[in-house]
Each structure stands twice: as structure tokens, then as C-alpha cells.
Amino acid sequence: MSPTIFRERGYRFFFFSREEARPHVHVYSPDGEAKFWLEPQLGLARNYRLTKVQLREIETIIEGHIDELKAAWHHHFGS
């Protein structure tokens, strides 16, 4: 199960169920995908085929939705 949290600027922001416990979000676009840690601070966990410009854009989007993403994580995973 991979619940989509939101879509913005052609990116899909979602979680994978039954994955590691540290809060993070996956991001998908037709160009590639990435994973960002949400805690203890926002940071890139891994990247597959996205450019530095795209990663900066994604990070900016995440920063604008950080509270929503953390709340969705804790609601979905229950901690």
C-alpha cells in the first residue's frame, strides 16, 4: 500500500506501508524518484535520476508541506 499524500508540480508525494520507522516521504515523477527524511531534519535519503534542480524544487515543496507530511506519517503509521 502506497498512500499518496499530495501531488504538486508533477511530483507525487507518498509513503510505502511497512517500511522503516524513521519518518520519510517518497517522491515520484516521470523523470525519476527520490526519498527524503522528514526527521530529525529534512534531508535527501536517496535519489534515482532526478537532477539537482529538481531535488531543490522538491525540497522546497516538502518544506512548504512539512507539517502536513509529518502529521500524515504519524496518522498512517500510528506513532
User: Quick one: pLDDT at residue 79?
Assistant: 65
What per-residue confidence (pLDDT) applies to 17?
77
Give the model's pLDDT for residue 2: 85
For residue 28, the SS3 value is strand
Beta bridge partners of 34: 27, 47
pTM, to two decimals: 0.94
